[in-house]
Amino acid sequence: MFGIKSRDQLAAQFDAPADNGFFGPGSVTWKVWSYPTSYVLGFARAVTIEHLDPNLAAAVVQSGGVRYRPHTRYARTVHYFALVAFGATEPTAKAADVLVKVHSKAIGNDPVTGGTYDANRPDSQLWIHVTAWHSILYSYEKFGPGRLSTAEENQFWADCATAAELQTIDPATVPRSRAEVLEFFERWRPHLAVSEDAQGMVDFILGLDIALPPELPQRTRVALAPAIWLLRKGVIATYPKYMRKMFGLNQGPLTDLAVQVPLRVMHTVLDRVPALKFWFVGLMAPTTTAVLAPVALGIPALEQITMTPREAQTRYGYDIPSEAHPDLRAKQFKRVFEAGDKPSDEGLLESEEHIGGMIPARWS
């Protein structure tokens, strides 16, 4: 798609964003989230660990979206998180608002706990949010440039709390330091569980090649196989022992150690060769390249401002997510829990414009 092009040639292919979003140039969020360890290692770690929440696992397994359209499901997830980290304020606020509609249909009965699940429930959103930000930072530290300074790390978690304003989360519940993050995961441990379905889903995701475009030529898949294998081992190397046991994974410390150097080299090369970086992003999540480009290529925004999500929601006329679309959410609740019907698809078609299509985009 991009060929062997210079940074300036690549930059000429993309439009400047309207503004600097919620964090802006020089922010620790741009520094960490734009590093190539985010693209596969960080996201794969996050979406697999998320399945330890039985409510989330039930929502994913029962929707079936990951299995019947894995590439687009992966690409839409990456695209949304890229918008939060890098995107201009208006399209990101709109995408967050639409996501509440999409999540309104992710409700049902949890066969593991015997209770119900609701993807818009604040504690479920908090689990996803913290797991994602922690996984991105952990992968950056382990297979990228290494640990941030204390000041940078504190700012990273402050930014995490700011980003939570785009979800149904109460930002006051977001941990603000490494110690608080570790306490968060310890508090969650008694609630974690893995069903047979969830284990199967994690094993499916850890194949990693499921994120590749379905039309990718077989010779390219074969060429990428060693890198995919290495990335899989790298993701597993980030799991603590209790998570490996829950997932049924037996990878030992020697493999963990053996993959560190080649993965660091791989991601260093991706970071230093813009054409290669954009080829890789275009392969895994093609709609995300335009969101990443201003950060990776230094394309200045049309207006040099940042704002908080709350400021953006006020400016563009969106309710805060926890209060958004109450009528739709109530209607979905009645369909599922009172009438015994499937939830409607309201919001899904609208989401394609703002988060990415559900039919695979053509890769080239």
Residue-wise pLDDT tens digits, 254-307: 999 999 999 999 999 999 998 888 888 888 788 889 999 999 999 999 999 999
Q: Higher-confidence residue: 5 or 341? A: 341
- pLDDT for 358 beyond 70: no
Residue 117 has φ and ψ, to the nearest 5°, of -125, 155
Query: Per-residue confidence at 200, pLDDT binned at 50, 70, 90?
Result: confident
Helices (H) and strands (E) in the chain, counts: 20, 2
What is the structure's pLDDT at 144? 97
Residues 60-105 pLDDT 10s:
777 655 555 667 777 888 899 999 999 999 999 999 999 999 999 8
pLDDT class of 130 with cuts at 50, 70, 90: very high
pLDDT of 186 > 60? The answer is yes
Q: Name the one residue in this structure whose structure tokens are 């475009």.
A: 213
What are the angstrom distances between the C-alpha of 34 and each of 86, 231, 257, 305, 307?
Answer: 9, 18, 25, 19, 20
Average pLDDT over residues 343-350: 76
The more confident residue out of 354 and 173 is 173
The pLDDT-based confidence of 248 (bands split at 50, 70, 90) is very high
Confidence of residue 362 (pLDDT cuts 50, 70, 90): very low
Provide mean pLDDT across the span 323-332.
95
pLDDT digits (tens, 9 = 90+) for 16-53: 999 999 999 999 999 999 999 999 999 999 999 999 99
Tell me the two tokens of residue 204. Answer: 């499916």
Confidence of residue 113 (pLDDT cuts 50, 70, 90): confident
Q: Residue 364: what pLDDT? A: 42
Mean predicted confidence (pLDDT) in 306-311: 98
pLDDT given for residue 241 in this prediction = 95
User: Residue 349: pLDDT above 80?
Assistant: no
d(CA 155, CA 157): 5
Q: Please report, for residues 141, 175, 184, the alpha-carbon distance to residue 172 in angstroms, rounded to integers and kept in the order given.
A: 26, 8, 13
Please tell me the predicted confidence (pLDDT) of residue 52.
94
Q: Which two tokens stand for residue 357?
A: 């299509």
pLDDT top residue among 44 and 58: 44
Among 49, 65, 54, residue whose Cα is nearest residue 103:
65
Q: What is the mean pLDDT of residues 347-351?
A: 70
Q: Has this prediction a pTM greater than 0.85?
A: yes
Please give the mean pLDDT across all residues of the chain: 90
pLDDT of 361 > 70? The answer is no
Q: What is the pLDDT of residue 120?
A: 94
